[in-house]
Each structure stands twice: as structure tokens, then as C-alpha cells.
Amino acid sequence: MGRPGGQGPGRGGGGPMNARINREKPKNLKRTIGRLFRYIGKSSAILVALLGIMICVTVIDLLGPFFQQKAIDTFKIVGDKTIVDFESLTVYLVIMAIIFVISSVLFYAQGLLSAKLSQSTVFIMRNDLFRKISRLPISYTDNHRHGDIMSRMTNDVENVSNAVSSSITMLFSSIMTLCGAFAMMIYYSWQITLIAILTIPITILVSTNLAKFMRKYFIRQQKLLGKLNGEVEEMVTSYKTVVAYGKEEKAVNNFASESEALRKNSISARVWGSVMGPVMNFLGNFQYVLIAASGGFMMLKGLGITIGAIQAMLQYSKKFTHPINQIANQYSAILTALAAAERIFEIMDSENEVDEGKTEFDAENMKGEIVFKDVDFSYVEGKPVLKKLNLKVEPGQKIAIVGATGSGKTTIVNLLTRFYEINSGTITVDGVDIKDIPKDVLRKFIGIVLQDTVLFCDTIRTNIKYGNDNATEEDIKKATKTSNADRFIERLPEGYDTELTEAGSNLSQGQRQLLAISRAVLADPKILILDEATSSVDTRTEMHIQQAMVNLMKNRTSLIIAHRLSTIRDADVIVVLSGGVIVESGNHEELLALGGEYSKLYSNQFAGIAT
Amino acid sequence: MKLAKYLKPYLFFAIISPILMIGEVMADLSLPKLMSYIVDFGIAEGGLEEIVDSGMPYEIMTALFGSDFTQMNVIITFGVMMLLIVLVGGFFGTMCAYTAAKASQGFGHDLRCDAYRRVMSLSIEQTDKFTTGSLVTRMTNDIAMLIELVEMILRMCVRSPMFLIGGTVMLLSLNLKFGVVLLCSLPLLLATLILVLSKSIPLFSTVQKKLDRVNSVVQENVSGARVVKAYVREDYETNRFSTANGELKDINLRVLRLMAIIHPVLNILQNLAIIAIILIGGIDIKNGIAGMSVGSVMAGITYVTQVIMSIMMVTMMFNSISRAIASGKRINEIMDSDPTVKSGLSDGSSDDIAVSFENVSFRYPGTAGEDVLHDINLNIKRGETLAIIGSTGCGKTSLVSLVPRFYDPSAGKVKVGGIDVKDYKLSVLRNKISYVMQKSELFSDTVANNIRWGKEDATLEEIKDAVETAQAKDFVENLPNGYDDYIAEKGASLSGGQKQRLSIARGVIRKPEILIFDDATSALDLVTEAKLRKALHEKMKDTTVIMIAQRIASVKEADRIAVIEDGTIKHCAPHEELMRISETYRDIYDSQMKNGGDISE
């Protein structure tokens, strides 16, 4: 079991909803944006193509009204009769048709490319993040809530994906349209443009403030939703306790009051959200009136402006307000995405596991001698777990480590496999400092069987082959024979091809343990560690596994951590850990005769029958 | 749908909301008119002559300025009117949003509470069947989906049809030939939308499956990090993830590619319709057909755009409706499941609380195959301590689960105080019992409140007393905030033994008549466990205790020990007798005490 001697901070539990609440403002905006764009830039060909298409689309979008106006202008009123210049009308209509066919094709290409861009960006990002997670030291997964890591992998990456696929393209085309419309307006009349853009600061001010106000409610809504989620999850997972103590009514009442808070807040959020539209609408129309009035005024004063120009400007002013509106709408989505990106980069920035080992180590012909010399270690500074620990294990020896919870038994395993780094002292294998051995070599000659068996949702065969990918069918059969797992596997309807569901929940605890042992047998390590490997099976099942264990330990240096007498009695040496140091060592009989720590532990833990 | 009844209390808001929407739509529809007044009469050359024949605009102007007004007056007047109408429309829109939110959120709140009440009344077997994850998503995501649907219907059910019908009528009134444009473009649009949606909706579930796969690989790697590292399989896992991730990417791309068709098709249809309108208008004008003018062509363009957009909205609405229907089904599944364990009527007698099993057989509901328990007969006297021992999976937990009616036996009867447990009121029955599990379920609350879970109105004295009995006093009082210490993350910061002792305190505080320990002392060392047994014995003499345990030392002193194997009770007797008669018991004893017991005896 992965608890570092009971010293590590709590972890586990905590569904993704905990993380979703954290929609705070990103802290280092500029850097995050830069890094995000570097990711998007990895698909630079698509990005360039997309930008090109967006420029074309924007230009065409601006040309549309131009030709439509021209086409309508071919209808002329002469006297009280309307005449049509049919020849030029057909020309304009054909041009329009061509433009729209082209723009539709471009739209389609834009849709495909932006999908491709967002998906490949996210694909690369997820892969990088996963590779990073697998390179992180164990202390990271021990000290962070798994639900939180999971939610970064899914929710946060999803948020970034949405931003890339919709917000960024929308933002870009909004800005382009804005610039284009602005240019066209200046072309017609810079004076009126000047008056018209007076509304822009107001629009920006109003929309950002309104968005900020809305965000308050939306964040509250997320929080309340998260709380509600948590409430349901907690009560449903602990449903037996709820029922056993008749607390259904209490649970319902709690839920109702939280649901009520969510209801109230959601109404406010909706109402404020719906205010945005009319306000923007008002500002847009205000600009419209402003242009019409100032245009009319200029015409009246004879300041050289034509009716056509005013009409065109009115058209473009509509194009003008739409993008500002969209930018305001995207504001919160983009902030959310940036906060998400920051959380992703936070993992990416964590220190990798150190692996400075360079020494050639002949693992084939190693003897398997382990020496801990003056080892100091603490998980949390100032709270030493091991103090100047000295321990020597001879090649082929079976050594058992006992001690109360929190005495540092598991820590020894964590240090030998370099899941954690020692503070001072040395650990050597066959006289070579383990720091100098490359980690993959080191871990290949050490095999571990843990209390909590880790099985993957795959076939039994693949799960056993986890110990050695190159194993043949024969090797696997031999391994399961050694571990006594062959009988139960062959009795299963699909034998080795049986799919394990939900990490092996369709097997009994004992069967799972046998699979873990088979895996270790197949790996054929020189050094074997059994960390409470049988403590979650009942004693009779353990007796069946016992033989498998004995077979497994043959010809290997073995470290056994256990609290059951049956598991440790036969060890060559038993060491007793207490307060971070070894207080006693010797074999079972010697230690009992000594009448110290071990005999005390022994009577507490094992021989309680006499109390 | 059945769920519609939850909208009833908010019927007022639900009715008024669409009506308010009419106000907003009217404002939206009148804006283009006012804009055209500004252009036609305020800016265009000769606008002042035109306005005389225009009817209403002229009347408005003369009412305000008499017969003498300038084009500037026209611009300002209609400009101010525009802004006023926007304000009024905005007010109606916001009020519509408010009433819609009021109705939909109220609907959601009531539905949520009712659904939760239903969840809380379900029997254990039903929650097992639904699974935690699915219940959580039903209570949150699915209900959120329904709330959104109600809100959308209230806000859109008037808007889209009004635009659709209004637009069509207006278009046809301009020129019947314009109808041809609609007849050509609408079927094309609908066909595209239906094709895209019918192809993409089935893909959504595949997307979900692929996403689950990605999640499960991450989950396995995060919780199994030690094994991955120990076997140096980082590269293997990275490849495995990359495959899952790639499959997710591919399916996502397929969906997005399908969706990408909609926008260009809409764009081309809309603009071709505009071209067609101009063309038809132009031909008619050329042929001198009466009633065709520049203005009507312009109006035709506006209306045809509106109609096409509202068709688009309606289709999208169907898309959300189809998804909301799926959610509604999932909620109804909860609402329709009646608790299988139904409460009886009896208040029971309070003094005789013997527990007896009569020919009890049990199998988990919905499973085929062999019985978990078979033909169990057992009588437990008042104040007796009965221990149960047996290997993993032999049916110990199933047996004790029948007493508080977590499950009902498939045959036979379980009686408490001579009355069938099925005849008790559930609350009365469960109030007699404290059930402590091996895997302690603590709640995110203070230590004191977690213990109060057993007895709501417990005083601090009572809590301290219970904690002392449970042998938890030392560690609780050493917590940073003692009894007020907050237990986070289901007690992740506490050791297994500490958690177990807190749940024992919770069970003890209510002074139950029947105390069930389901391997609840497995993480305690034997000395502590012995102290606990002693304290229980002193303080709760009349309590019937049923305890499941793995260790011989834990069960040895019980009045009787039931040895269970393969779902039947092999023997039930005190320790000494079992040592004589039961081979299984001796086996267990040997496996634990081999060469050990003799030293301290």
C-alpha cells in the first residue's frame, strides 16, 4: 500500500467537482498565453492555413453588403416609375453567387481546419501531460488528490480545447471584422467614424463590467453545483451508514437547502446574463442613430458626404457592434480556458523524477546484497522518519521488517526503489550506490508485491505479462504454476483471456493477490519486496498463498513487511523498527528470548489469544 | 411527460414568460422599419416628399412638429424612438428571462429535491444497481439538462415560431412568388440538418465511451503509479494512453467534421435566397407588376433571412429536446423505482430483542447462480455476544445485512423480538440497531458531529463517554482541535484504526439494543480491541452483539461463535467446544496461532 509510513498528507477521494470550482483568474496571464500559443503553434501548417482562410472569409463578409447594395442600386426610380438596369443586375447577382459559393467553401474549410487544430492541439497536450505524469516522482501522486490530477487531465484539457476550437477563432475573426469595418468606415468618412467610435469605450466599459458582475454569479453557481455534487456523492457512497442510522430525512433536508441556494443564485445568474444582450443592443443602436444624425447634420451643412456613404456606414456600423458583442461573450470562456491551461502547465512544470544513474550494472550476474548506511529520511522537513538507519541484507537472505504503524517500514521500500530520495547516507546494492544505477535497471531487478494489488482493465494474460513484456505463453504458464494461480485461472470460462472489470473487482481478494504474485514471478527479480502482501486476505486463504510465496522467495534476496506471524516467522532475520531506528534484530526465537520490543509486539499483535 | 407536473407551481411564470417574449419580438420586428424610415425619409434625397405619402410616419411627425419639419428632425425623432423601443424590448426580454428562470429553476429545485428524496428512500440493492457515479450525474447533469430545456422552451417557443410564421406571412404578402424561394430552400436546409444530426447524435455515445477509456487509463496510472514504476512500464503506459487518446481525437474529429457542414450550407442557402429575391423582384419590376418596389425587395431580404434563421433555431431546439428526453428518461428511472424494502407497521415490543434467523436463504437481487446464504437457522438471545467467523466471501456480511433490512432474504424469515423484521416500521427497526462497518464511512464534518450522527441531540458529555468506550479518547483529544477537528476527504488524514474507532463511537452513542460489528475492529491491535470489548461488556450489558471478525483472538471470548462456510453455518458453539468439534475452526486457529499461542499461555 502506498502510504509513506503514514506521514504523507491525505490524498485520494475527491471527485473532479473539487477542481471545477477553481475557476479563479489565471495568475500569470502573459506567460500562460505564450505557452498556450506555443502548443497551438505545434500544428503551425494548419494554423497558417486557418489564418489565411479567416482573412479571406472576413474580406468576403465585408464585400457581401457592398455588392448587395450595388445590386439594389440598379433599381432606379425615375419619376413615379421604377426601372431596372437588368444587365448590370445580372452581373452583380452572378458576382454575389460566386462570392457566396466561394465563402461557403471557405467556411467549410475553416470549420474543418479549426476542428483539426483544436483536436490535434489537445491530443498533443494530453499526451505530453500523460508522459509528464508518468515521469513524476511518486511523492507527487502521494501528495496530490487523485481526483484533482484526473480533472486536470479531462476537464481542464477540455476547457482549453473548447477555447481553441471556438473562442480563439471567434476572437480572431471578430478582431478582423472590426478592423475591416473600421477601415471601410474611415474610407467613407473619417469625421463620422470618429463620432461613431465614441461608443466603443462605453461598450467595452459596460461589457467588461457586466461580465465581471456576471462572473461572480457564475463562479458561485459552479461552487454551489460542486457542493451539491459532493453532497450527493458523499451520501450515496455512504448510503449504508445513512440508512443504518435513519438519516435519510436529514440528508434530504441538507440537500434541499443547498439546492435552494443554487436555485436562487441561478436565477440571478440567468437574469444578469440576459441583461447583456439588450445592453449591447442598445449601444449598437445608439451608434446607428449617432451615425445617421451626424451624417444628416454633415449633409445639411454641406460638408461633402453622400447619401450612399451614409447608407454604407450604417451597414458597416452593424458589422461593428457584432464582434464587440462576441468578444464580451467569449470573455469568461477565455478566462476559464486560461485558468485551465495554467493548471495544466503547473503539472508540466513540476520536477521530474531524478535519474542521474550512469553506471553500467550487470544485473544478470548480481548477487543481491543490500546495505543501508546511516540513512536519514523525512517526508516532511523536521519530522524524521528514519534516523541514521543501518541495515545489511546478505545475498539470498530473507529479512522481515516489523514495527508499529508509522514506524517507517514502508519507507524502507520507498527508498530502496528510489520512489523517494534519501536525505543523507547511502544505500548500496552489491556495493554500488543505487543513485548511480539507472532507475530502469534498478527497478527491473527489484520486484514488489503490494497489499493493494494493482490490476488493469485488460485480460489476465496482459496483467501477468506486465512483469515481463517479452514473456512467452509458456513462461506465463510456468509463472502461474509457481504462484498456484494456474488452477483458478484455468477454471475461468475464458481462462487467460478473461477480461478484468474495474481493476479486477470480478476476482476475489486472494485471486487478485495470486495474480500480483504471478506477475512478480514472471519478472524474475533478484530482489523481492513483499509489502503487506497478504494482509488483506483471510488467514486460511493466506495459507494457500503461502506456498506461492515460499516458491517466489527461493533464491532471491527478500524483504518482507508484514504484521502476521505466519508470514514472518520463517525469515532468516527479523528487524524491529521503532522511532526510525532498528531497535532489535535476530530470528524469531532469539528475539522472543530477548523479551524486548519484539516480544511485546508479538503478544499485542499475534498472541492476543491469551489476553 | 410525467415530469411536467413539477412545472405546475410555477405555471404563472411559465405562462407569463412567453407573453413577455411577444413584447421583445415586437420590438425586434419593428426596429428594421424604424431604421428604414431614418434612411428613406431622413437621409435619402427627397425624403421629405416621400414621407407625406407614408401614412403613419407622417402622422407621427406632424403630431410632433406640425407640417414644418426638417430631415434632421426625422432622424432624431425616429432615432429616439428606436432607442426607446430597444429599451422597452430589452425590458420585456429581461423580464421574460427572469420569469423563465424563475419557472425553470423552481421546477429544477423541486424535481431535484423530490428525486433526491426518492434516492434516499431506495433500498441498498437499488443504489448498488444504479451505482454512485450514475446517481450523481443523474442528480446534477441530467436535471441541469431538463432545467435548460424548460428555460429554452419558455423563451424560444414563442420567438422562433413567431419569426417563422410572421416572416413567412410577411414574405408572401409582399409577393407570392417569393414563396417559391422558401419552397426551394427550406427542404434543402431541413434535409441537411436532419442528415447531419441523425449521423452525429449516435456518435455522441461513442465519444463518451472513448472519453471514459482515456479517463480510466489515467485513473489506473495515477492510483497504480507504484506498480507502473516498479515494473518500469512508463513507456508502455504512455503508448497505451496515446492509443486511447488518438481514438478519442479521431471520433471527435468525425463529429466536428459532420457539424462543419451546417454553417456553409446555411450560408449558401441564405445568400442564394437573397439573390433569388432580388432577381424575382427585379423581373417583376421590369415587367411593371404593381406593388413591387425597392423597399419591398429590401424587406423580402430581411424576412427570408429571418425565416431561415428561425428554421435553424427550431432544428437546434429539437436536438436539445432529444438530449433532454434521454435525461428525462434517466430521471424517471429513479422516480419509478419503488423501494423494494418496504416499511411495515409494527412499533415492536421494546424489551425482547432476541434475533432469530429461520430457514433463511439469500441471494443478491438480480444475480443468478447459487445462493449466498443457504438455509440458515440461528437464535441469538438478548444480551448475548455472537461472533461470526469464516473466510472471505463466505456470506458473513450478507447474513448480518439482513437484520437492519439492507436486503431482504429470498426465503425464510429474520425476526427481532419475535416479530418478522418486515413487519417493523423501518425507522423503529433501524433505531434499535447500530451497524458498524469495516470500511468506516465518515462524513466531511467535525469529529463531534460525525459521532452525533448516531444520536442527534447528544451532549458533549455523551460524546466523550462514547469516545472513551470506543478507545478513541487519547487520539481524539490529541487532534489539533479535539472534538471540533474537521474530518476532510472522508477521513484520509486518519489511520484505519482511528477511523474504525470513530465509527464505533458513533455506533455506541445511541445505546442500541443490537450492536453489529462487521469486521469493525480489524485495524485495531489486540490490546486495544480487548479493552474495547471489556468497555462494551461493562457499559452495554443488555445489548445483543453480533460481531464478524477474522482473528481468533477477537472472537474467542464471545458467548458463541458461528463458523460459516459456503453460505451455511457449519457449527455454532463457544470456543472450547468448537476446538473440539470443528475442523474448519481448528484450521483457522492453526493458521493464526501455529507455534504462537503456547508462548503466552
Distance from CA of A368 to the nearest CA of B (A): 17
Q: Which residues pair with B386 in a beta bridge?
A: B546, B560
Share the mean pLDDT of chain B: 82
pTM of the complete model: 0.72
CA dist., res. B211 & res. B229, Å (int)? 25
Interface test with A, best of B226, B268, B294 (most A CBs within 10 A): B226
Report the relative pairing of strands B355-362 and B411-416 from DSSP bridges. antiparallel
Provide the percentage of residues in chain A whose pLDDT is more than 70. 87
Question: Minimal CA–CA distance to A112: which of B193, B201, B256?
Answer: B256
- B91 contact residues in A (CB cutoff 8 A): 278
pLDDT beyond 50 at A15: no
Which is higher by pLDDT, A20 or B162?
A: B162
Q: Are residues B477 and B528 in the same domain?
A: no
Q: B232, A443: Cβ pair inside 8 Å? A: yes
Residue B75 lies in a domain: yes
Q: What is the mean pLDDT of residues A323-328?
A: 71
Q: What is the mean pLDDT of residues A43-57?
A: 85
pLDDT band at A19 (very low <50, low <70, confident <90, very high): very low
Q: A115, B256: Cβ pair inside 8 Å? A: yes
Q: B435, A240: Cβ pair inside 8 Å? A: yes
Residue B13 lies in a domain: yes
Return the pLDDT at A363. Answer: 75
Picking from A289, A296, A603, the nearest residue to B600 by CB comes out as A603
Using CA coordinates, name the residue in chain A closest to B152: A270
Q: Are A177 and A54 in contact (CB under 8 A)?
A: no
- List, for residues B55-80, the tens digit of each pLDDT value: 778 888 888 888 788 888 888 888 88
- A64 contact residues in B (CB cutoff 8 A): 271
Q: Are residues B332 and B354 in the same domain?
A: no
Picking from A12, A292, A417, the nearest residue to B230 by CB comes out as A417
Q: What is the mean pLDDT of residues A591-600?
A: 82
pLDDT beyond 70 at A24: no
- List, for residues B549-571, the tens digit of each pLDDT value: 888 888 888 889 998 887 888 88
Return the pLDDT at B584. Answer: 84
Cell numbers placing B380: 441469538
Q: Which residues pair with B569 in a beta bridge?
A: B564
CATH code of residue B105: 1.20.1560.10
- List, for residues A451-483, the tens digit of each pLDDT value: 777 788 788 898 898 888 888 999 999 888 888
Residue B448 lies in a domain: yes
pLDDT band at B405 (very low <50, low <70, confident <90, very high): confident
Return the pLDDT at B103. Answer: 92
pLDDT band at A234 (very low <50, low <70, confident <90, very high): confident
Which is higher by pLDDT, A4 or A346?
A: A346
Cell numbers placing B597: 499461542
Return the pLDDT at B243. Answer: 92
Return the pLDDT at A591. Answer: 85
Q: A300, B72: Cβ pair inside 8 Å? A: yes
Q: Are residues B506 and B382 in the same domain?
A: no
Q: A446, B230: Cβ pair inside 8 Å? A: yes
CATH code of residue B501: 3.40.50.300
Residue that the C-alpha cell 523525512 belongs to: A378
Q: Are residues B428 and B444 in the same domain?
A: no
Q: What is the mean pLDDT of residues B522-527?
A: 76
- Cβ-based neighbours of B413, under 8 Å, separated by 6 or more: B357, B358, B359, B360, B420, B422
Interface test with B, best of A1, A46, A56, A126 (most B CBs within 10 A): A126
Using CA coordinates, name the residue in chain A closest to B443: A234
Which is higher by pLDDT, A297 or A21?
A: A297
CA dist., res. B192 & res. A599, Å (int)? 82
Residue B314 lies in a domain: no
Q: Are residues B252 and B146 in the same domain?
A: no
Return the pLDDT at A1. Answer: 33
Picking from B31, B83, B230, the nearest residue to A448 by CB comes out as B230
Which of these three, B511, B541, B567, is where a domain ends?
B511
Residue B83 lies in a domain: yes
- B263 in reach of chain A (CB within 8 A): yes
Return the pLDDT at A270. Answer: 83
Question: Minimal CA–CA distance to B22: which of B109, B95, B72?
Answer: B95
Return the pLDDT at B247. Answer: 94
Q: What is the mean pLDDT of residues A413-427?
A: 89
Q: What is the mean pLDDT of residues B402-418?
A: 86
| C-alpha angle B38-B43-B49 in degrees, rounded to nearest 5 | 90
Helix ranges restricted to H, A349-421: 409-416
Q: Are residues B7 and B116 in the same domain?
A: yes
Q: B285, A247: Cβ pair inside 8 Å? A: no
Q: Are B398 and B373 in contact (CB under 8 A)?
A: yes
Q: Distance between terminal CA atoms of chain B?
A: 73
Phi-psi region of A6 (alpha: psi -120 to 50; beta: other; left: phi over 0): left
CA dist., res. B459 & res. B438, Å (int)? 26
Q: List C-alpha distances in Å: B367 to A210, A326, A541, B125, B337.
A: 57, 55, 25, 11, 18
Q: Are B454 and B508 in contact (CB under 8 A)?
A: yes
Report the relative pairing of strands B514-518 and B433-437 from DSSP bridges. parallel
Q: What is the mean pLDDT of residues B288-315?
A: 77
The secondary structure of residue A370, as a DSSP letter, is: E
Q: A123, B246: Cβ pair inside 8 Å? A: yes
pLDDT beyond 90 at B250: yes
Residue that the C-alpha cell 478582431 belongs to: A175
Which is higher by pLDDT, A561 or B54?
A: A561
pLDDT beyond 80 at A518: yes
Q: What is the mean pLDDT of residues B243-261?
A: 90
CA dist., res. B485 & res. B502, Å (int)? 12
Q: A296, B43: Cβ pair inside 8 Å? A: yes
| C-alpha angle B26-B31-B32 in degrees, rounded to nearest 5 | 120
Residue that the C-alpha cell 473619417 belongs to: A190
Q: Which residues between 386 and 405 in chain B have a beta carbon less than 8 angstroms from any beta carbon of chain A?
A: 391-393, 404
Return the pLDDT at A405. Answer: 63
Give the 3-state DSSP-derived string for B51-77, with helices as H, strands as E and coil as C: HHCCCHHHHHHHHHHCCCCCHHHHHHH
Return the pLDDT at B490. Answer: 58
- Give the A:B interface size as CB pairs under 8 Å: 428
Return the pLDDT at B204. Answer: 76
Return the pLDDT at B106. Answer: 92
Q: B227, A466: Cβ pair inside 8 Å? A: yes
Q: A236, B132: Cβ pair inside 8 Å? A: yes
**CB-count burial class (<10 Å; 0-12, 13-18, 19+) for A138:** buried
Q: List C-alpha distances in Å: B118 to A73, A160, B331, B338, B453.
A: 67, 37, 10, 8, 21
Q: Are B306 and B325 in contact (CB under 8 A)?
A: no
Return the pLDDT at A173. Answer: 79
- B565 in reach of chain A (CB within 8 A): no
Half-sphere exposure of A201 (CA within 13 A, CB side): 3
pLDDT beyond 90 at B278: no
CB atoms within 10 A of CB A300: 11
The secondary structure of residue B521, as a DSSP letter, is: T
Cell numbers placing B601: 499461555
pLDDT beyond 70 at B98: yes
- B535 in reach of chain A (CB within 8 A): no
- Cβ-based neighbours of A455, under 8 Å, separated by 6 or more: A463, A500, A503, A504, A507, A512, A515, A516
Distance from CA of B411 to the nearest CA of A (A): 23
- B195 in reach of chain A (CB within 8 A): no
Picking from A93, A134, A609, the nearest residue to B553 by CB comes out as A609
Interface test with B, best of A239, A280, A411, A452 (most B CBs within 10 A): A239
- B181 contact residues in A (CB cutoff 8 A): none
Return the pLDDT at A2. Answer: 34
Distance from CA of B415 to the nearest CA of A (A): 17
Task: Domain of residue B574: give its range.
Answer: 348-432+512-601
Q: What is the mean pLDDT of residues B437-456?
A: 82
Q: Are residues B494 and B591 in the same domain?
A: no
- B249 contact residues in A (CB cutoff 8 A): 119-120, 122-123
Picking from B139, B253, B275, the nearest residue to A232 by CB comes out as B139
Number of domains in chain B: 4
Q: What is the mean pLDDT of residues A558-585?
A: 82
Q: What is the mean pLDDT of residues B311-321?
A: 77
CB atoms within 10 A of CB B461: 8
Q: List C-alpha distances in Å: A591 to A161, A511, A575, A582, A602.
A: 62, 34, 9, 13, 10
Return the pLDDT at A27. Answer: 60
Q: Are B447 and B476 in contact (CB under 8 A)?
A: yes
CA dist., res. B267 & res. B527, Å (int)? 80
Lowest-confidence pick of A329-338, B327-336, B511-520, B527-536: A329-338
Q: Are residues B107 and B243 in the same domain?
A: no
Return the pLDDT at A487. Answer: 81
pLDDT band at B107 (very low <50, low <70, confident <90, very high): very high
pLDDT beyond 50 at A10: no
- A281 contact residues in B (CB cutoff 8 A): 86, 89-90
Q: Are residues B56 and B151 in the same domain?
A: yes
Q: Are A138 and A354 in contact (CB under 8 A)?
A: no
Cell numbers placing A367: 548477487
pLDDT band at A503 (very low <50, low <70, confident <90, very high): low
Question: Minimal CA–CA distance to B152: which of B329, B310, B18?
Answer: B18
Q: Which residues between 22 and 61 in chain B have a beta carbon less than 8 angstroms from any beta carbon of chain A?
A: 31, 35, 38-39, 42-45
Return the pLDDT at B597. Answer: 37
Q: Are residues B16 and B110 in the same domain?
A: yes
Torsion angles phi and psi, residue A373, rounded to 5:
-125, 120
- B87 contact residues in A (CB cutoff 8 A): 278, 282
Q: Are residues B133 and B251 in the same domain?
A: no
Q: Are residues B331 and B380 in the same domain?
A: no
Share the mean pLDDT of chain A: 79
Return the pLDDT at B110. Answer: 92
